[in-house]
Structure 1
Amino acid sequence: MQMQTPKVMWISLSLSLLFFTACADNAPAGKATRNVDPTAALTAQVQKNATAEAAAVSEGAEQQVSGGGRENPNFLNGIDDKNRGDKVGKVQFSGSIQNRTGKLYLLETEGRNVAAIDSVTLVNGKFDFGSVEVGRGFYGLGFEPTKKTGEIIMNPDEPVLKIDFQNARLISGGTDSQENQGWFAYRGAEGANKNQVRQLYKQGKGQEEETKRKVKLKEDELAQTQHKFIRDYPGTYLAKFLTWKQPRFIGDKGTFLSDLDVSDNSLIRSMALPDRIQSMMRTFSGGKDSGFLSCIDLVKASCEENPIVLEFVLYNMLDGFYNTGKETICQYILDNYIFDEDCGANLSDVIRQRAQGIINLRVGNTPPSFRISDVNGKTVDLSEEVAKNKYTLVMFWASWCHKCEQEIPNLVPMYNDLNPKGFGVIGISVDQQKAAWTKAIADNQIPWSNVSQLKGWDAPITDDYKITQTPTYFLLDNQGKIVLKPERWFEIQRYLQSRL
């Protein structure tokens, strides 16, 4: 399967690491600003001593604590009276982006989910959002209302924020903001560390134990990097966020989330909590449904005192399990925690509406309809198409998807054979370039209707259908209900043989 690279979408708990490997292919007014180079910050401040510190940590003993957990030697508490809890207030936000025109959007984040809260027009590369009311946390910046290009920290403790971005990638720039000086530098350090880990895995095939040892050292190095930034930027949201990166207690799922203050709403304006839950699932579930259910119950119990955080984690888990094909686990969350009359009593209608979006994509239900232009500019209406056929296959694909290249040669003759009997197909491309899309249609001699919004993974239709990989199939009956969600073409053929 062709997997989507990380996209801006509703908070998706990336549990895919647990299940399968797919085929390939983030200040006071009046002061002058100064440039911050994250690579230089890493080299000068962190990398020279991180390895030695990490080795010392690895050799140190872990202290046993009550409940079966152990003190994590990589944990450092950077939460104090200054940054504890959430804080809502006004921030005057302005800056510049070299060689850029058009609209700039400020996006509120909840994990991976983003929503535009304001927009301005860049004038000679400068922008000014004026005074914006925000809570502590990460906010996105982008050139489209639903797409995050860069990420910044906004904190009412810094009521004036000015950033002069180096370029339209929005990953670094000149600023007097302590929060963002630290964030730009840390992000560079973390990126370098993760690249090194990827290289270790790539080069370590057949040497699993040695690779595991080296990766652990890199993980410990990253923890020491986090410690340095916690010490260098005390009292900031960044210090708190980096504290959340490491659990205080390890080795026992009952205490794995115990260091998190779930009354702090700023938890949801970062990926720290979703990442912690993902780590919990990976460490303690054993990859079994019973293990996942046990972890889910603990997460719910840990977060239920704050309905805002509870909704955040419930949908996180629901979305993540759906995206990895664990629909029975999704049903458990829906039945026991979202739509249950007792457990779901304090939840808002918003999470139920979001959950309904997943329910609609299950077999027996009706997925979202759509009207999208085909290669010739003609509008294709799903509801009209399904009414014409006994069965209609909705196929998400892409010109660059190698798995699609293997499936299409089998689907074409099947379509030609079964189309006269009432079988239709609508291809939905997640391409961005029309030329590549139309060439793939011609090269593969695809006879069925093909539509695309030409926005890649950011296309609204991919959000509606929660598409994270290609190909993805939905087989609909003539009432528009899903009757099959196959993974391969021959499953479709087998289903239709006895029905057409």
Structure 2
Amino acid sequence: MKKIYILSAVLAAFSLQAQFTVTVQTPAEFKDKDAILYTLNGSKDIIVTKEQSKNNTWNFKYPGHYMGMMKVYFPTSNNMVTFISENKNVDIKLDIQNNKIKEVEYLDEVNNLMNRQQDGSQKKELILPALTQIKEYYKDNTEFGKALKEEIGRLSGTSNAIDAAQHPFISYYNTNYSKFLSNSADPAKKVTQDDIVNFLDKSNDMLESSSLLRPVLVAYLNSGGNTNVAGAVDTLLDRLKVETPRGQTVLSELIDIFDAYDMDEFKTKYLTLAKNLKCTITDRLATTLKSNANVEMGAAFPNIKFQSPANTSAKSLYDVKADKKIIVFWSSTCSHCESELPQLLAKYNDLKAKNIQIIGLSLDTDKNSYTQKIAAFPWINDSELRGWNSSYVDTYNVHATPTYFILDANNKIINKPDHVGNVLEYFKLK
């Protein structure tokens, strides 16, 4: 029994040591009370905990070991601040103007260093080439020429070298971003598909929490061109073993990528593979399977409670009674919506005469922009005003705006048009 007590004490001590705190401070005029802490798994944000402010300070306690990207989201004002964890306390101070984040001050060593590294890398990647070109037009002995030469020298000397023992996540992120994603990468050291497969296979757990996974997968697909996408994906999944947690995360990311880029043939192929897996399914892949199942042809479109609906007294989508419903996910900042929704508006009376209801669910964040836009739309409109943090995104598997669904009187999906022209064609109004 004594050994068990000792082991329990050791585990308890380890747990306490592993725990770290995320502290976010704001000025007194910031009106939000609630905030949500997220970690990252691939490209998906994972909720850790929700806290309320005390004297405009939020203290989040993370109960375990974590190295990777994190964010705190303020749902009331749709503000967000991103940062990293190296399993050490995080301390952030926000400057607020008109209840929006104006500036972020990273007070802890890790995020302060990461911020400076990112700033230097961006300037080196984006500004240094331009300054080098400009230098050809100025002599070194002029005041501007001297300043230009000094700045080029400073940026050229900016280094991403970080002691991996002291800062494992920063080192991991910078090294692999420079190798696989940086525009300034040495052409002579161009990575191959084999290089990327090896990286995805052998990388440690920081891959999933780094935000690098999806862009590296896109780079992998692009590096082989369009000649044999399925072959490249099969090679990758065979190497990773699709039944493993990493294999399932990569499979989930690929399904989402194919969905976002309208690569329906490949999405169908690998979604079917995911459905047929006989192993224990991870939460990450289960989320992808669920969101896709929600919007399959013939499926009952999940109900949603309206937040502040316009042009209706209905409390939820299912409360809206019609022979058919057109659901459109859109945004006031979406250029395609700007051109497509007026076409719906032009046929609105014809649709209404056939007892067809339009329900617009907006992925806006700015209330004024949203309110001004819906003033021209007589159909039912609603929004959570949380942008891509809206519940719509996962529930209805939305990857782009506008996205359309046509439902029957029983709220079953009977058509998934690609464009407004397909919507009007379906109802013979084109």
TM-score if structure 2 supplies the norm length? 0.74
Equivalent residues in 2 for 1:153-302, closer than 5 Å: 153-156=84-87, 158=88, 161-165=89-93, 167=95, 169=101, 171-175=104-108, 177=109, 179-193=110-124, 195-196=126-127, 228-230=160-162, 236-245=168-177, 246-247=179-180, 250=190, 252-260=192-200, 262=202, 264-284=204-224, 286-287=225-226, 291-302=228-239
Aligned: 1:340 with 2:276: yes
Q: Aligned AA for 2:318?
A: S
Verify the 8 A CA contact 1:103 1:119 in the aligned structure 2.
yes
Structure 2: 5+ residue stretches without partners: 1-14, 132-153
Verify the 8 A CA contact 1:250 1:256 in the aligned structure 2.
no
**Structure 1 residues 487 and 261: CA distance shift in structure 2, 3 A:** closer
Over residues 167-225 of structure 1, what are the superposed CA-to-partner deviations in whole Å (9 max), with x where a residue is unaligned? 365744222x3x3333121222344356549999xxxxxxxxxxxxxxxxxxxx99995
Q: Which residue is 2:309 aligned to?
A: 374
**Structure 1 residues 279 and 111: CA distance shift in structure 2, 3 A:** same
Question: Out of 372, 377, 396, which is 1:465 matched to?
Answer: 396
**Structure 1 residues 244 and 224: CA distance shift in structure 2, 3 A:** farther
Over residues 120-145 of structure 1, what are the superposed CA-to-partner deviations in whole Å (9 max), with x where a residue is unaligned? 44434544445631222222223349
Verify the 8 A CA contact 2:322 2:356 in the aligned structure 1.
no
SS in 1 for 2:427: helix
Give the Cα separation in 1 of the matches to 2:304 and 2:250: 30
Structure 1: 5+ residue stretches without partners: 1-86, 201-220
Give the Cα separation in 2 of the matches to 1:96 and 1:171: 10
Verify the 8 A CA contact 1:138 1:270 in the aligned structure 2.
yes
Q: Aligned AA for 2:414?
A: V
Q: Which residue is 2:71 aligned to?
A: 140
Give the Cα separation in 2 of the matches to 1:234 and 1:114: 26
Equivalent residues in 2 for 1:68-87, closer than 5 Å: none
Over residues 407-456 of structure 1, what are the superposed CA-to-partner deviations in whole Å (9 max), with x where a residue is unaligned? 333323423124323322112223344444343333x3x33222222333
Verify the 8 A CA contact 1:93 1:131 in the aligned structure 2.
yes
Verify the 8 A CA contact 2:294 2:301 in the aligned structure 1.
yes
Verify the 8 A CA contact 1:230 1:239 in the aligned structure 2.
yes
**Structure 1 residues 263 and 240: CA distance shift in structure 2, 3 A:** closer
**Structure 1 residues 376 and 230: CA distance shift in structure 2, 3 A:** same
SS in 1 for 2:327: strand
Aligned: 1:396 with 2:396: no
Give the Cα separation in 1 of the matches to 2:422 and 2:361: 20
Query: Aligned residues, how many?
Result: 377
Aligned: 1:311 with 2:248: yes
Q: Which residue is 1:490 aligned to?
A: 421
**Structure 1 residues 438 and 258: CA distance shift in structure 2, 3 A:** closer
Give the Cα separation in 1 of the matches to 2:155 and 2:239: 27
Verify the 8 A CA contact 1:94 1:163 in the aligned structure 2.
yes
Give the Cα separation in 2 of the matches to 1:431 and 1:349: 28
Give the Cα separation in 2 of the matches to 1:183 and 1:93: 18
Question: Out of 149, 155, 175, which is 2:80 matched to?
Answer: 149
Give the Cα separation in 2 of the matches to 1:105 and 1:349: 20
Q: Aligned AA for 1:165?
A: K
SS in 1 for 2:161: helix
SS in 2 for 1:229: coil
Q: Which residue is 1:409 aligned to?
A: 342
User: How much has 1:462 moved relative to structure 2?
Assistant: 3.5
Verify the 8 A CA contact 2:304 2:316 in the aligned structure 1.
yes
User: How much has 1:90 moved relative to structure 2?
Assistant: 1.3
User: How much has 1:393 moved relative to structure 2?
Assistant: 0.8
Q: Aligned AA for 2:198?
A: S
Aligned: 1:453 with 2:384: yes
Aligned: 1:424 with 2:364: no
Give the Cα separation in 2 of the matches to 1:496 and 1:280: 41
Q: Aligned AA for 2:212?
A: A
Q: Aligned AA for 2:337?
A: C
**Structure 1 residues 255 and 172: CA distance shift in structure 2, 3 A:** same
Q: Which residue is 1:4 aligned to?
A: none
User: How much has 1:95 moved relative to structure 2?
Assistant: 4.2
Verify the 8 A CA contact 1:431 1:454 in the aligned structure 2.
yes
Equivalent residues in 2 for 1:27-66, closer than 5 Å: none
Equivalent residues in 2 for 1:350-365, closer than 5 Å: 351-365=285-299
Calculate percent identity across the aligned residue pairs.
20
Q: Which residue is 2:42 aligned to?
A: 111
SS in 2 for 1:440: helix
Give the Cα separation in 2 of the matches to 1:167 and 1:355: 40
Over residues 240-282 of structure 1, what are the superposed CA-to-partner deviations in whole Å (9 max), with x where a residue is unaligned? 2223322598554234321455472232111122222111111
Q: Aligned AA for 1:97?
A: Q
**Structure 1 residues 468 and 173: CA distance shift in structure 2, 3 A:** same
Greater relative contact order (CA < 8 Å, ≥ 6 in sequence): 1
Verify the 8 A CA contact 2:78 2:386 in the aligned structure 1.
no
